[in-house]
Structure formats: structure tokens, C-alpha cells
């Protein structure tokens, strides 16, 4: 029984102009084979035009326990949204 | 393909902190998704690892009964379709293994559990595929039952599982249609072909109904799984739905569902159907299916025969890394 190959996260660009989007992961000994496995596993039906693979261990993520301090401050800064500002009737194109 | 929860673990006293548990329950009740790094109760994690890995194993073992017929498909068209379907099953297994791994189990552990016979997979794959019509019956009934099970799981509370289910469901509907098409053609063929289709329906009907798992009153974990949105509909609800949509499909192509007690019940707006032989189900779960041993032998052989290529890939990766370091 061999040990698992490293895990790679797979990102697919669905068509030109779109961002690569995470779709899942594969195991592979190196990046080249990870791309091949990603192709067979995640793009059997023209799901994309480009693939990225990233070693899962290279991804650093925010901690859900810190969600409040990370993301809540945006809630009280509603002046970042255009609808915060009252523009008088009759003024257009703004 | 799908397996309902087949292996029960004994409940263990929860050591989860009450405040975290309450916050978790509230999130799930509000239909929020739980993601890998979120806090979750141990039992939730354990149940999901078991359910998702059993589901993955079912996809992988599910390739075997159909793989049996690839070289004997009656035309190039059927052969190409069957190959694509079997390849999809491999893909589905991989999506699911990946989803299970986000819960902290490893691929190695899961595969080891399957090969050693510790892990369960759907009982349906321990029945033999005797004729070409079985490819039709499997696609139509087995994949049909799987879809019925999997569609609600697209809204399951664990994000990676739900997302895997979305992909699986999208790919699965061709599986069911190609199977029904096989049955349709056989049923419209010669007498011998029609008999072959009917025989396949006779053999696969009851095992397909068993795919939804034990009746609700014998499914003690259902309530908790429903509350945690790991399961979205009960075994009996899904089974009833399956019968209601499948019976007219059989009638439409002139095949007869092998159940003398099958009868439309106007009042409930669904079919009444006969008793399921649960002793058979539990025997097959325990590994007494007609071809259970053969399936595992084939699976382990494939894994062992492929060892050299995994080793070669490792050696190549090591060599490349060494060159890049130099």
C-alpha cells in the first residue's frame, strides 16, 4: 500500500474572459500529472478552456472564527455604496 | 450511483461545547452551508465521512458490473456510450473522495477500508450483470434511483458534498436516458429481445427499491440526519417517488413491473407496492451478495496491477525535483 500523492486544488476557466474557479481537487505526484488528472476528472464535458492546479498545502485561508473581525466592518461602512448618497431630483447621469 | 447509510456507528457521548453546538444547529436550520474549516459536531463529521466515502466507494465499485459489458456492447455507438458512462462513474468517485478528504480523512484510509472489506458500498453492485439488457436496466433503474437520492443532496448542508452532488447530478441524467433507450429498443425488438428486457427488469426492480435503504421505522439515524440536512428526504419518501415515476415508464414500453401487489392508490396519489424482502437486503449488506467477493477481487486486482505506474510517477517526480534543486 503506497502513501497518498500530494493533494492539488483544481481551478477551471470556463471560457475566455472568465476567472478560474475552484472545482475540486486531485492527487498527483507533480504538477504536470495533476493537470492531466484534473483534465480527466473535471473537464469531460467542455467545462473549460484552461486549468490551474495549486498544491493544497500552499493555500492559506482565513479562519472562520475570525469572520466577524474580518468581514463585519464592511457592514457599518455603507457610505462605500452609491445608494448612500441622496442626489436631488432632476440631476441625471450621476 | 448512491448508497444510503449502511453502516451504523454506536452513538457516543457528545463532548461538543453546548454554545458551539447551538450556533451550529442554528446555521444548519437556516440552510447555511457548512465548510471544511467551520466548527462542526464530531458526530456530524463522522456521519458525513461515512456517508460520503460509502457514496464514493459505490461509484468506484459501480464501474465493475458495467465494465463487464464494454467489450461486448452490441454496436460501436453503445460501446462509446458505455465507456463514457463508466468513465463518469470514476469521476464521480473522485469528486466524492475529494469531498470526504476535506473532513480530515485520507484517500489512503478510505481505499484501505474498501479493499479490506471494512467499508460498505451500495448493495446493488453485488448482483451479477447477466445479459446486455442489464446495462439498460442499470442505467434506467439504478441510476434513476441514484438520481432520486442525489437531487435533494445538492442542498445538503456540507458545502463540498453539495457541490460534488451538483456536478454528479448534471452528468447522471444521460446515464439514465441511455439505459432507458437500451430497454426501449429491446422492448420493441424480437420476442427474444423483449424477453431479455423483461428478465432484466424482473431481476433489477427489487434491488433498485432496496437502494433507498431500510424503511424509515428501521432507520434510527434518519431524524438526526434530516435535522442536520445531511439527508433531505426520508428513505420511504424517496422510494415512493421512484415507484411513482418509474411504473409509467415501464408501461410505456410494454414492460411489466414484477410486483403482483402494485396498484394505483387514488387517495394517496401514488402506487401501493408489495413487501420488500429486507432479509435479502441485510444479507447483501453483510457481503453475501451473489458476486460480492468477485467485485472486491476485481477492485483489489486493478489497484495492485496499477501499482507500478504509481511508483514510476513517484520516481519521475523525485528525479525532476532533484534536477530542479541542482
ipTM score here? 0.82
Residues B313, A24: C-beta atoms closer than 8 Å? no
A9 CB near a chain B CB, below 8 Å? no
A27 CB near a chain B CB, below 8 Å? yes
pLDDT score, position B6 = 57
**Closest by Cα among B58, B61, B72, B212 to B133:** B72
Q: Point out the residue among B91, B95, B314 whose CB comes nearest to the CB of A29.
A: B314
Q: Output the CA–CA distances (angstroms, integers) from residue B38 to B27, B44, B157, B164, B254, in the order listed.
A: 11, 12, 12, 18, 52
Q: How far is B311 from chain A (nearest CA, A)?
A: 8
CB atoms within 10 A of CB B66: 23
Backbone angles phi, psi at B228, to 5 degrees: -85, 5
B27 CB near a chain A CB, below 8 Å? no
CATH 3.10.20.520 for the A2-58+65-84 domain, yes or no: yes
- Nearest 5°: the CA angle B97, B172, B223 is 65
Q: Output the CA–CA distances (angstroms, integers) from residue A2 to B85, B111, B181, B307, in the order listed.
A: 29, 11, 42, 8
DSSP string, B272-284: E-PPP-HHHHHHI
Q: Are B91 and A37 in contact (CB under 8 A)?
A: no
**Average per-residue pLDDT in chain B?**
93
Q: Point out the residue among A4, A28, A63 whose CB comes nearest to the CB of B108.
A: A4
State how far the Cα of B319 lies from the Cα of B157, in Å rounded to an integer.
Answer: 43
Of A25-34, A66-75, B224-233, the least confident: A66-75
Q: How far is B37 from chain A (nearest CA, A)?
A: 7
Instruction: Provide the grid cell at B285.
Output: 449488506
pLDDT score, position B1 = 46
**Closest by Cα among B33, B13, B12, B15 to B24:** B33
pLDDT score, position A75 = 74
A63 CB near a chain B CB, below 8 Å? yes
pLDDT at B95 over 50: yes
Q: How far is A88 from chain B (nearest CA, A)?
A: 40
B286 — pLDDT class (breaks 50, 70, 90): confident
Better-predicted residue by pLDDT, B68 or B101: B101
* Size of chain A, expressed as the number of residues it contains: 94
State how far the Cα of B186 lies from the Cα of B196, in Å rounded to an integer.
Answer: 8
Q: How far is B317 from chain A (nearest CA, A)?
A: 6
State how far the Cα of B92 lies from the Cα of B57, in Å rounded to an integer.
Answer: 10
Q: Point out the residue among A4, A30, A41 whose CB comes nearest to the CB of B317.
A: A30
- In B, minimum Cα distance to A44 occurs at B88
**Closest by Cα among B235, B243, B178, B238 to B206:** B243
B284 — pLDDT class (breaks 50, 70, 90): confident
pLDDT at B245 over 90: yes
Domain spans of chain A?
2-58+65-84
Residues B314, A41: C-beta atoms closer than 8 Å? no
State how far the Cα of B132 lies from the Cα of B145, in Å rounded to an integer.
Answer: 20
- Coil, helix or strand at residue A89: coil
Residues B314, A27: C-beta atoms closer than 8 Å? no
Average pLDDT over residues A7-21: 96
Tell me the chain A residues in contact with residue B35 when contact means C-beta distances shorter than 8 Å.
Answer: 64
Q: Are B131 and B200 in contact (CB under 8 A)?
A: yes
Better-predicted residue by pLDDT, B161 or B217: B161
> Number of Cβ pairs closer than 8 Å across A and B?
59
- In A, minimum Cα distance to B34 occurs at A64
State how far the Cα of B57 lies from the Cα of B64, in Å rounded to an integer.
Answer: 12
Q: List, for residues B121-137, the tens digit of each pLDDT value.
A: 998 999 999 999 999 99
Amino acid at each position: 500500500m503506497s502513501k497518498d500523492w500530494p493533494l492539488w486544488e483544481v481551478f477551471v476557466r470556463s471560457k475566455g474572459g472568465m476567472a478560474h474557479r475552484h472545482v475540486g481537487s486531485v492527487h498527483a505526484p507533480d504538477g504536470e500529472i495533476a493537470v492531466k488528472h484534473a483534465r480527466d476528472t473535471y473537464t469531460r464535458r467542455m467545462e473549460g478552456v484552461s486549468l490551474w492546479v495549486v498544491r493544497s498545502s500552499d493555500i492559506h485561508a482565513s479562519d472562520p472564527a475570525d469572520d466577524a473581525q474580518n468581514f463585519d466592518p464592511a457592514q457599518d461602512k455603507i457610505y462605500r455604496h452609491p445608494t448612500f448618497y441622496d442626489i436631488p431630483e432632476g440631476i441625471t447621469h450621476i | 450511483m448512491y448508497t444510503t447509510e449502511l453502516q451504523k456507528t454506536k452513538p457516543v457521548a457528545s463532548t461538543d461545547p453546548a454554545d458551539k453546538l447551538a450556533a451550529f444547529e442554528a446555521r444548519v436550520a437556516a440552510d447555511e452551508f457548512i465548510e471544511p474549516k467551520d466548527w462542526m459536531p464530531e458526530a456530524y463529521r463522522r456521519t458525513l465521512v461515512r456517508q460520503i466515502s460509502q457514496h464514493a466507494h459505490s461509484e468506484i465499485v459501480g464501474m465493475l458490473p458495467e465494465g463487464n459489458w464494454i467489450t461486448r456492447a452490441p454496436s460501436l455507438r453503445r460501446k462509446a456510450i458505455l465507456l463514457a458512462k463508466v468513465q463518469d462513474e470514476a469521476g464521480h468517485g473522485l469528486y466524492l473522495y475529494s469531498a470526504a478528504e476535506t473532513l480530515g480523512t485520507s484517500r489512503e484510509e478510505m481505499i484501505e477500508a474498501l479493499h479490506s472489506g471494512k467499508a460498505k458500498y451500495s448493495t446493488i453492485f453485488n448482483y451479477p450483470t447477466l445479459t446486455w439488457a442489464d446495462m439498460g436496466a442499470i442505467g434506467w433503474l439504478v441510476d434513476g434511483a441514484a438520481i432520486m437520492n442525489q437531487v435533494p443532496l445538492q442542498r445538503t448542508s456540507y458545502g463540498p458534498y453539495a457541490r460534488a452532488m451538483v456536478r454528479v447530478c448534471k452528468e447522471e441524467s444521460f446515464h439514465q436516458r441511455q439505459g432507458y433507450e437500451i430497454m426501449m429498443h429491446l422492448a420493441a425488438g424480437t420476442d427474444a429481445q423483449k424477453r431479455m428486457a423483461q428478465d432484466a427488469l424482473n431481476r433489477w426492480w427489487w434491488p433498485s427499491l432496496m437502494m433507498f435503504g431500510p424503511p424509515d421505522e428501521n432507520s434510527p439515524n434518519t431524524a438526526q440526519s434530516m435535522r442536520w440536512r445531511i439527508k433531505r428526504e426520508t428513505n420511504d419518501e424517496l422510494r415512493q417517488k421512484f415507484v411513482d415515476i418509474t411504473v409509467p415508464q415501464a408501461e410505456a414500453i410494454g414492460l411489466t413491473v414484477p410486483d403482483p401487489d402494485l396498484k394505483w392508490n387514488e387517495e394517496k396519489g401514488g402506487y401501493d407496492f408489495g413487501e420488500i424482502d429486507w432479509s435479502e437486503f441485510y444479507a447483501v449488506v453483510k457481503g453475501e451478495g451473489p458476486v460480492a467477493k468477485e467485485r472486491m477481487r476485481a477492485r483489489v486486482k486493478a489497484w495492485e496491477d496499477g501499482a507500478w505506474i504509481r511508483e514510476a510517477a513517484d520516481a519521475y517526480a523525485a528525479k525532476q525535483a532533484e534536477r530542479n534543486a541542482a
